[in-house]
Structure 1
Amino acid sequence: MNNITPFHVAIPVHNLAECRTFYRDVLGCEEGRSSDHWVDFNVFGHQVVIHYKPKGEEDLHTNAVDGKNVPVPHYGVVLPWETFESFATALQSKGVEFVIEPYVRFKGEVGEQATMFFLDPAGNALEFKAFKDMGQLFAK
Structure 2
Amino acid sequence: MIPPFHIAIPVHNLEACRTFYKDVLLCEEGRSSDHWVDFNFFGHQLVIHYKPKPEEDLHTNSVDGKNVPVPHYGVVFPWNEFHALADSLKQKEIDFIIEPYIRFEGLVGEQATMFFYDPAGNALEFKAFKDRNQLFAK
Q: Normalization by structure 1: what TM-score? A: 0.97
Among 119, 122, 125, the alignment partner of 2:123 is: 125
1:76 aligns with 2:69: no
For 2:137, what is the secondary structure of its paired residue?
Answer: coil
1:35 aligns with 2:56: no
Identity of aligned residues (%): 78
For these two proteins, the number of residue pairs brought into alignment is 138
Aligned to 1:138: 136
Counterpart code for 2:40: N
Aligned to 1:56: 54
Aligned to 1:4: 2
1:18 aligns with 2:1: no
Tell me how far 1:77 sits from its aligned partner: 0.7
Separation in 1 of the partners of 2:89 and 2:80? 14
Q: Which runs of 5+ in 1 are unaligned?
A: none
Q: Which runs of 4+ in 1 moved over 3 A?
A: none
Q: Which runs of 5+ in 2 are unaligned?
A: none
In angstroms, what is the RMSD of aligned CA positions? 0.6
Tell me how far 1:43 sits from its aligned partner: 1.3
For 2:133, what is the secondary structure of its paired residue?
Answer: helix
Separation in 2 of the partners of 1:123 and 1:58? 11
For 2:46, what is the secondary structure of its paired residue?
Answer: strand
Tell me how far 1:59 sits from its aligned partner: 1.4
After superposition, what is the alpha-carbon deviation per residue over 1:87-107, rounded to whole angstroms, capped at 9, x for unaligned? 110000001000000001000
Q: Normalization by structure 2: what TM-score? A: 0.98
